[in-house]
Structure 1
Amino acid sequence: MSDPTPADVERYIAQGLACEQLAVEGDGRHFFATIVSAEFEGLSRIARHQRVYRALGDRMREQIHALSMKTLTPAEYAAAPAASATHHHH
């Protein structure tokens, strides 16, 4: 199986999770996803990550360890300083 592109990862997540905002950066080996979903309301950070893993299912079982996530509810996203929305992790 070829390495997924950030666009693939984005599509996988979007298929399994209703996202308000979704951005994935990566080089095929390591990915960083910013995910804003109302489904995260009331969930702990761990539970949010598990919810994303469920959305990804088996498609990324091999690559899942290389995925970093920032999971936010729409309210948390709205409250975050604008700078964090444009901040890039390398």
Structure 2
Amino acid sequence: MADPTPQQVRDFIAAGLRCEHLEVEGDGRHFFATIVSPDFEGANRVARHQRVYQALGDRMREQIHALSMKTLTPAEWAREAAPAATHHH
């Protein structure tokens, strides 16, 4: 089986999880995903990762051997994405 492309990994995650923002980078073996989903509200990091693995299903175990994830809620993403200039008082 051919190694998945970052686009395929992105599509798999998007198919199984509501995402407001989703970026996947990778080389076919190692991937890094930034995933922003309202489904992460109230879930800790481990639970968030489990949701992503559920979305990927069997493909995760078969094909994607190393997936690093940054999982954020929309509110966390907004805080992180906000330019530092907006934080002065």
How high is the TM-score relative to the length of structure 1?
0.87
Query: Which residue is equivalent to 2:49?
Result: 49
Q: Could you tell me the percent identity over the aligned residues?
A: 75
Alignment CA distance shift 1:17-1:81 (3 Å): closer
Query: Which residue is equivalent to 1:77?
Result: 77
Larger Rg: 2
Letter of the structure 2 residue corresponding to residue 52 of structure 1 = V
Q: How does 1:7-86 map to 2 (within 5 A)?
A: 7-82=7-82
Give 3-state SS (helix, strand or coil) of 1:79's partner. helix
- 2: distance between equivalents of 1:81 and 1:33? 16
- 2: distance between equivalents of 1:65 and 1:10? 15
Letter of the structure 2 residue corresponding to residue 21 of structure 1 = H
Q: Which runs of 4+ in 1 moved over 3 A?
A: none
Query: CA offset at residue 62 of structure 1?
Result: 2.7
Q: CA RMSD in A?
A: 1.3
Count of aligned pairs: 83
Structure 1 unmatched runs, 5+? 84-90
Give 3-state SS (helix, strand or coil) of 2:78's partner. helix
- 2: distance between equivalents of 1:28 and 1:64? 8
Query: CA offset at residue 60 of structure 1?
Result: 2.0
- 1: distance between equivalents of 2:81 and 2:17? 25
- 2: distance between equivalents of 1:82 and 1:65? 32
